[in-house]
Structure 1
């Protein structure tokens, strides 16, 4: 038996026969064309784009017919890519100006764009490079006369292995035939991983080169999508253990559904809020259907990233209003102002290149520097506040001066709308993300002025540990259970409560089973996570006594490493198993 370790991308267990998808490296020749052939080459390229569009629209129609709205949204974006001027028009220009064949012109253009995106520090945006490459391969296959591979034509259920899977490949997998997959490349935020989670296929990504030499067609394999383990030719004891785990998982999933319309309550009757992180109106609708009690983080920068120019006040107002309406007028909706800049490049803003974008010109720093852009967003949020319980949150705040300046611009926007007779909630709550250690250390000062805190652990961890969270060699440092991070969290919660303010958490830590007992014990009021994590978190919360978790949390603060904290939780909190 051999075990490989990858990134757990979609939870669950699959036991079956391996099917290895051979992937030949894409080789595109660069050919110089005679000038009299260029018009014909452009026409050939346009025909390939049109054929790819027809194929994509067929996939989109199939997904819509199956009521798979989230997957359909991804393919709507793929169709839009085939209308993107930078991608399509630039390719035509290369054909004409450099006298290049269509294959090479389009391939080099798409790789330039994908390469730029894949170099970003934001994991969600970086994974969008896979969408560009997916669309690119579809067009290139049309140009080369190559048919797309069929991944689900097996006569019996299989576990698929590949270098990578395009989103379009993943969306068309039949869960009755492909019961799980593992890939050499990829990340947890890739669209393939998102789709795998939505259709319930266990998946592991990012296994690396070991996959090339380890798996053969027909071998018995186990995919553990919860821990990121692949077992090849498992022994009988391992097979028996995982068959039992499959049965237990089915029972758990049935049990989770019983919590769908239940309040988020600890075993000793303490209620907290379990809310969701979103990036779009569609995400909000899915979060509501998944049992989330509101939105703890609306990443509004995606409104900017999806536009070719600064989104208007009206467009933003429409999005914020629809998110509020997805839940109802009393449900809390925390809208984070745009966290753009640095690693999230917007061509139309002409932002400067930076050597260290994580510590650079981004988020509130840009907003305060470009007050007109900032006020447009704040006006849109304030207008939408008339339709729901919206709250506004400022990211990357390091100093009291930044908070006060942002609050002043918010007050100006309120005054302008009031004078214009436009409805709004003048008492809208305003808070800050705690993701910079300086803000955590001065939480007692901030708590006297803000209405709430939301702890962004993804950045707080990397800044506290001085370790780039995207660097795989530093993974051992990027652990939210490190006592240094826990002590900062404890400090922030204590400061908020001492001043009568509530505190939430919108980093991934909020949905992790080892962290939830500690956070409950420290007194966190709001836990914001991916929508799919809400019901499992609610089920775990119902088994935990907050009073007991207080002692657990205090003991964890005194330990010396994340490993010690994790081991302590596993030993003393039996409910997480």
Structure 2
């Protein structure tokens, strides 16, 4: 993203010619310390290749690849020439956006600037701007991108009228993050307006975050009291941002395509909404240019398009679906097409076939650049668009694909692409009694299978989730609708899957990410029963080592994994909170999630590298990359073995400073395993698992029994228990809470349990009773200030006066920035602090750590987070209190020296990481750790912190 500061902008510049302007730009980069003086020759060399004039008075000079060695750090300098400068291609330039890039960052800047060109009068405005802020505002303003893609389509719903379709479409927009709950509520009473041709429209403006258009269609031809219903569009209108959506809707109606929408795939519908009629000549082609459709190849494409006898439009298959004119350079650049993505050309009229073929041939020829084909295993030949759905392009070979880190570890192995089995069955059946009997038999068989899995995996996360699946099979909200469909003439298979799909779609429409992801569990249960009905066995993985690739992985799929063979896990959907990610971490499998549909186009057998720590997938790696990765794996294995051998020794720095290393637990059943791995105690027991594992609130006896298991296994080692932390992303079915627009900032943690003090009091009594004479540390989550701590402490003091546990401390989890800032006041009354860096980071940086696009930026080594940790430690030590870190940062090898240097007394990490964390502490000296902590605190960004630590 283009990030400009006032220092980056120079106003009122003058130059006799373009070379003089370029010399000033080079000097500005040199003065800023971005480049050495030789970089200026690179700017001239680049202009000799082709003009960097972008349009609307803007040029973006940048060096050649050969001149990158003169770049010291990536940066931008903007020079304004109010009088204008005659550029060498005949254009008039008023603004130079001069780029020093160490790799290809200039391409992202270019793509952003293309959106500036769409605004009328931008050249004149930039030429007469009188302050850097005016220039920055104009160049950095993010365009409003209206959303219309597969995510906003809701097709084939079993509904009875257009009202249900309207609400389903609105819910889909909410699920996509385009609107809030107020939008849906506003539309609940709004009658859909007829557009003709069986199409209807509802429009809302309240609660719109991003302009968007959703479409909901019925599963069969529908006619209600107002007429035929082919589909209902739901428009989230905002300013002028939705205008393009209305234009695309008008194009659909103008072509008279609405009657054919029923039964079409999402891709085919998007094609129609892009203005591609059934009479249009269409063709698709994979882009092979190394740097995508940047300025030079885009210009070549535009030139070919202008030679055609008919207008040709182009859209990006993996993009928003909006088709743009191929004769507009700014529009083509605005697609942001990258190597491996698919361009879709369309044209109508005489000569249309020749026109699209010419453009396809031009793309295949490289558009003036040398191109290399993708691996045969990943290549898809260009072909005319057909009614059937074409697969999304597979990831380019030997290029890292970014995903969400889900479970740490690095793996190299052939891919095993898990594709759902094909279930063939009749939709209708004559004998309803027989179909009901078949369904009951299949449900019974599924219960037996799941019960057996629970027994095999007792005591871990797999068993807990399988137990949830068992409860789903008992849910009358699934069985009853299935039986109702059977009574109406559906087969057992059709009735059952209709019930599953309806429930899953409703789950997916929820705004809460965690709840929406649970739709995968419903479909996992549904496929199990469907397999028994159809006599189809679920897929079985190969017997050799492999990396599992799937759209999403159901818990039962993970439960069947042979951990001796599976090396890694890659999912197209899901996030760090999905069950597949949770189970991968529990099983010690390297995993990434949310990698996108491209991974599903991989061919089984293609070699993959999966980096679960950085969130990267590389298909068909080069020998050099493979060798480098193998060395990393071997180095990690050597360190792991050495660390395991010394796992029961204390973690002391080389100069004798002691750091306790404890384990984070999600279940008391894992306490013995933590001790065996060298944990010196439990630094975080997530007690909510006791509440989540029961259909009703667990009573005092149940909780005492659960907590006692952990105390018994620890054999006198301390246990730090977090009181019930639900709400937000962790609801309880028997504790209903009102819908919140932002549950992460709502009623959760201590503020929730204080609304029902009897629940918190029972839990405190259970913990103190189970501890007896053994050391227990209790902490309250999501505390924002002293008032909330005192409210919880009043309940604690009341219970402790009655139970009188022998060795107990009461502390605070530092997760909210205000709590860290107020640590001096809290340290006077709390016995200890435990810093939950996961939540502290997301609240400090305002980034949801599970966000599919921003999660990579949610780095707890950000200096802002480190400053809060420093303040917390200093405040605690001033009062003689101890401080632990129980978030993911505690097991980050780069972060451990910083945390030790900041004075953190305890690191609590996953059990598997305990030996490695101890080993990392032993490599340090306290003085060196303090140096690294000071160095980290001086950096401006998380990336700078990591770079400084790496080079230190």
Q: 2:200: which partner in 1?
A: none
Q: 2:403: which partner in 1?
A: 6
Which residues of 2 match residues 479-494 of structure 1 at below 5 A? Answer: 479-494=859-874
The answer (yes or no) to whether the contact 1:114–1:130 under 8 Å persists in 2 is: no
Find the aligned partners of 1:200 and 1:479 in 2 and give their Cα distance: 22
Q: 1:26 to 1:410 in 2, by over 3 A?
A: farther
1:168 to partner: Cα distance = 2.7
1:60 to partner: Cα distance = 5.1
Q: 1:121 to 1:247 in 2, by over 3 A?
A: same
1:349 to partner: Cα distance = 2.2
The answer (yes or no) to whether the contact 1:221–1:231 under 8 Å persists in 2 is: yes
**3-state SS of the aligned residue for 2:737?**
coil
Q: 1:297 to 1:92 in 2, by over 3 A?
A: same
514, 523, 529: which is aligned to 2:894?
514
Of 306-315 and 94-103, the range deviating more from structure 2: 94-103
Cα displacement string for residues 145-196 of structure 1 (whole angstroms, at most 9, x for unaligned residues): 321111134xx54444332333333333335554444332344454444554
Is structure 2 residue 415 aligned with structure 1 residue 18?
yes
The answer (yes or no) to whether the contact 2:423–2:530 under 8 Å persists in 1 is: no
Q: Point out the structure with max Rg over C-alpha.
A: 2
Is structure 2 residue 448 aligned with structure 1 residue 54?
yes
Which residues of 2 match residues 327-342 of structure 1 at below 5 A? Answer: 327-329=714-716, 331-342=717-728
The answer (yes or no) to whether the contact 1:276–1:296 under 8 Å persists in 2 is: yes
Q: 1:208: which partner in 2?
A: 596
**3-state SS of the aligned residue for 1:20?**
strand
Find the aligned partners of 1:236 and 1:350 in 2 and give their Cα distance: 55
The answer (yes or no) to whether the contact 2:551–2:597 under 8 Å persists in 1 is: no
1:557 to partner: Cα distance = 1.2
Find the aligned partners of 1:403 and 1:533 in 2 and give their Cα distance: 31
Is structure 2 residue 532 aligned with structure 1 residue 145?
no
The answer (yes or no) to whether the contact 2:648–2:677 under 8 Å persists in 1 is: no
The answer (yes or no) to whether the contact 1:277–1:297 under 8 Å persists in 2 is: yes
667, 674, 678: which is aligned to 1:280?
667
**3-state SS of the aligned residue for 1:369?**
coil
685, 689, 696: which is aligned to 1:298?
685
Of 217-226 and 547-556, the range deviating more from structure 2: 217-226
771, 787, 793: which is aligned to 1:385?
771
Answer 1 or 2: which has greater helix percent: 1
Find the aligned partners of 1:119 and 1:412 in 2 and give their Cα distance: 40
Is structure 2 residue 924 aligned with structure 1 residue 544?
yes
Structural RMSD (CA): 3.0
Of 283-292 and 354-363, the range deviating more from structure 2: 283-292
1:538 to partner: Cα distance = 0.8
1:24 to partner: Cα distance = 6.0
Which residues of 2 match residues 152-231 of structure 1 at below 5 A? Answer: 152-153=542-543, 156-175=544-563, 177-197=565-585, 201-213=589-601, 215-231=602-618
The answer (yes or no) to whether the contact 1:14–1:202 under 8 Å persists in 2 is: yes
Of 380-389 and 157-166, the range deviating more from structure 2: 157-166
**3-state SS of the aligned residue for 2:608?**
strand
1:235 to partner: Cα distance = 2.4
Q: 1:301 to 1:181 in 2, by over 3 A?
A: closer
Q: 1:283 to 1:54 in 2, by over 3 A?
A: same
Q: TM-score, normalised by structure 1?
A: 0.87
The answer (yes or no) to whether the contact 1:303–1:316 under 8 Å persists in 2 is: yes
Q: 2:812: which partner in 1?
A: 432
Q: 1:261 to 1:360 in 2, by over 3 A?
A: same
Find the aligned partners of 1:52 and 1:197 in 2 and give their Cα distance: 26
The answer (yes or no) to whether the contact 2:898–2:932 under 8 Å persists in 1 is: yes
The answer (yes or no) to whether the contact 2:421–2:538 under 8 Å persists in 1 is: no
Find the aligned partners of 1:148 and 1:412 in 2 and give their Cα distance: 55
Of 249-258 and 228-237, the range deviating more from structure 2: 228-237
1:471 to partner: Cα distance = 2.1
Is structure 2 residue 524 aligned with structure 1 residue 134?
yes
**3-state SS of the aligned residue for 1:513?**
coil
Q: 1:555: which partner in 2?
A: 935
Q: 1:81: which partner in 2?
A: 469
Find the aligned partners of 2:464 and 2:683 in 1 and give their Cα distance: 27
Find the aligned partners of 1:118 and 1:256 in 2 and give their Cα distance: 46
Of 457-466 and 559-568, the range deviating more from structure 2: 457-466
Find the aligned partners of 1:204 and 1:467 in 2 and give their Cα distance: 19
**3-state SS of the aligned residue for 2:899?**
helix
The answer (yes or no) to whether the contact 1:41–1:95 under 8 Å persists in 2 is: no
Of 467-476 and 546-555, the range deviating more from structure 2: 467-476
Q: 1:113 to 1:267 in 2, by over 3 A?
A: farther
Q: 1:359 to 1:105 in 2, by over 3 A?
A: farther
**3-state SS of the aligned residue for 1:472?**
coil
Considering Cα pairs closer than 8 Å and 6+ residues apart, tell me whether 1 or 2 has the greater RCO: 1
**3-state SS of the aligned residue for 1:221?**
strand
Q: 1:122 to 1:407 in 2, by over 3 A?
A: farther
Find the aligned partners of 1:135 and 1:89 in 2 and give their Cα distance: 14
Is structure 2 residue 879 aligned with structure 1 residue 499?
yes
230, 250, 253: which is aligned to 2:637?
250
Q: TM-score, normalised by structure 2?
A: 0.54
The answer (yes or no) to whether the contact 1:42–1:92 under 8 Å persists in 2 is: no
Q: 2:904: which partner in 1?
A: 524
564, 569, 576: which is aligned to 2:944?
564
1:499 to partner: Cα distance = 0.5
1:107 to partner: Cα distance = 4.2
Find the aligned partners of 1:302 and 1:240 in 2 and give their Cα distance: 42
Find the aligned partners of 1:293 and 1:118 in 2 and give their Cα distance: 44
Cα displacement string for residues 384-425 of structure 1 (whole angstroms, at most 9, x for unaligned residues): 12052111111111121211121111111223x35xxxxx41
1:104 to partner: Cα distance = 5.3
Find the aligned partners of 1:190 and 1:353 in 2 and give their Cα distance: 21
Q: 1:452 to 1:29 in 2, by over 3 A?
A: farther
Q: 1:396: which partner in 2?
A: 782
Find the aligned partners of 1:273 and 1:121 in 2 and give their Cα distance: 37
Of 534-543 and 340-349, the range deviating more from structure 2: 340-349
Find the aligned partners of 2:478 and 2:892 in 1 and give their Cα distance: 44
Cα displacement string for residues 281-304 of structure 1 (whole angstroms, at most 9, x for unaligned residues): 123232222211111111111211
Structure 1: runs of 5 or more not aligned: 419-423, 573-577
Q: 1:421: which partner in 2?
A: none
**3-state SS of the aligned residue for 1:321?**
helix
740, 744, 748: which is aligned to 1:362?
748
The answer (yes or no) to whether the contact 1:264–1:538 under 8 Å persists in 2 is: yes
1:454 to partner: Cα distance = 0.9
Q: 1:262 to 1:478 in 2, by over 3 A?
A: same
Q: 2:841: which partner in 1?
A: 461
Find the aligned partners of 2:565 and 2:831 in 1 and give their Cα distance: 51
Q: 1:119 to 1:569 in 2, by over 3 A?
A: farther
Find the aligned partners of 2:509 and 2:800 in 1 and give their Cα distance: 39
Find the aligned partners of 1:558 and 1:80 in 2 and give their Cα distance: 48
Q: 1:235: which partner in 2?
A: 622
Find the aligned partners of 2:820 and 2:464 in 1 and give their Cα distance: 41
Q: 1:391 to 1:341 in 2, by over 3 A?
A: same
793, 797, 802: which is aligned to 1:411?
797
Structure 2: runs of 5 or more not aligned: 1-396
Q: 1:411 to 1:158 in 2, by over 3 A?
A: closer
